[in-house]
Amino acid sequence: MSATPRGARSFDAVDLIRKKREGSELTKEELQWLIGAYTTGAVPDEQVAAWLMAAFLRGLSGREVKSLTSAIVASGEVMDLSRLSRPTVDKHSTGGVGDKVSLALVPLVASFGAAVPQLSGRGLGHTGGTLDKMEAIPGWRSELSAGEVLAQLDSVGCVVCAAGAWLAPADRKLYALRDVTATVESTGLIAASIMSKKIAEGTSALVLDVKVGSGAFMTERARASELAQAMVELGRASGMKVAALLTSMDVPLGRAVGNALEVAEALEVLNGGGPPDLVEVTVALAEVMLELAGLEGDPREALAKGAALPTWEAMVRAQGGDPSAPLPVAPVVEHVLAQQDGYLSKLEARAVGVAAWRLGAGRSRKEDPVSASAGARCLVKPGDFVEKGQPLLELHVDDPTRLPRALEALQGAFDFVQEPAQLPQQPPLLLGRTG
């Protein structure tokens, strides 16, 4: 994409920075020019960084978010899924601790006849990434060409892979810049980033899982609702069927936090078991995905019968993985013990996520390696009675020198009460729906 397409008007980056700094709304043409020029390198990082900070502080109007999203989509190619015989539907989560829902959800929905093109990302900080989890499977590869993605959707019905360099390249540059300029936490910028990639992916329908709570990116329900509404509106404006569920993330989802540990737990779900909270969120999202795709079925019954397991195995094999191979196991397992008797009243998701990250399951920078086997298992959940000395968490680690900092992260992560009546009311897992 050229910085100034033939016949298009050229603008001055300083003028656009000043305009946004003063609180004015940029036009569609101005944003198209800015994003196009930045993608080609005609506008440097420092000028776009200044514009991002102005946008962060002044906010973006609904029109600006829509124009920004369109400009990011136009910076690359859009996948054409129209030749597929199956209806297309995808899911995106804003990220949380222990959120391995996609691993079971993608093959589950595909087993009902949908095509699910799950172009995923990697973890950063205390929230895990789907690609990191899947790469714990021996032989599995995340990098596929657009042709391979289409062929796998045709043959298997689902794919989990990295977004290619051709998809919304402007977002890749913008996200890296936002990460180092403290401009990530902007509802408009987040909505444009997420939805530009999903629109470029070419899916006809999308369900958004917007996490709310201490372990989520959005800790306040009002802001999460605002983000959900913005993304639903962007998707619908592009012709996509979209709905968003708000789900709770104050406590880790399921019991496993960490790459191989989460794959193993997702397999429990696909085999008809698994933690009830993980099953509940998976089923709720599957029901909405099937609704938007125009398909019928009972996801809960399908999971109980293990009906989606063959689709999972076919998907893993298609990407070079061995679904029967043992998953990596950490050589060191340490336990965090209860310091008193009582009912567990708090298990803070963010603290557990940070501990798993420090054990090696996550990264501080996108280029950092991760450990497939590192992580944590929650042996108790809020409401459970524990005795002094009873294990609360298992910490799995390759390098024992990482343990002290992980334990530091868990200071204050647990609270206890002496009577069941003193337990605080836990928020429901499903907090609401938009769209």
CB 90 within 8 A of CB 117: yes
Given the residues 66, 100, 122, 197, the one annotated as active site: 197
Q: Is residue 197 flagged as an active site residue? A: yes
Given the residues 92, 198, 211, 402, the one annotated as active site: 92
**Residues 6+ positions from 146 with CB-CB distance below 8 Å:** 77, 79, 164, 166
Measured distance CA(397)–CA(404) in Å, rounded: 11
Q: Is residue 171 flagged as an active site residue? A: yes
Buried residues in 176-198 as b, exposed as e (16+ CB within 10 A): ebbeebebbebbbbbbbbbbbbb
Given the residues 70, 75, 102, 193, the one annotated as active site: 193
Task: Give strand pairing partners of 298.
Answer: none
Q: Which residue, 333, 299, 240, 397, is CA-closest to 101?
A: 299
Q: Is residue 396 flagged as an active site residue? A: no
Given the residues 19, 178, 396, 402, the one annotated as active site: 178
CB 300 within 8 A of CB 113: no
**Residues 6+ positions from 215 with CB-CB distance below 8 Å:** 96, 97, 126, 127, 249, 250, 251, 252, 348, 349, 350, 352, 353
According to DSSP H, which parts of 249-348 are helical?
259-270, 276-293, 299-305, 309-318
Measured distance CA(191)–CA(129) in Å, rounded: 18
Strand order in the sheet with 342-347: 385-386, 342-347, 414-417
Distances (CA, A) of 329 to 1, 74, 311: 46, 43, 25
Q: Is residue 92 flagged as an active site residue? A: yes
For strand 375-378 and strand 256-257, is the pairing parallel, antiparallel, or unpaired?
antiparallel
What 3-state class would DSSP assign to 151?
helix
**What angle in degrees, to the nearest 10, is found between the helix axes of 187-201 and 45-58?**
120
Given the residues 90, 132, 171, 277, the one annotated as active site: 171
CB 51 within 8 A of CB 74: no
Catalytic residue ranges:
92, 171, 178, 193, 197
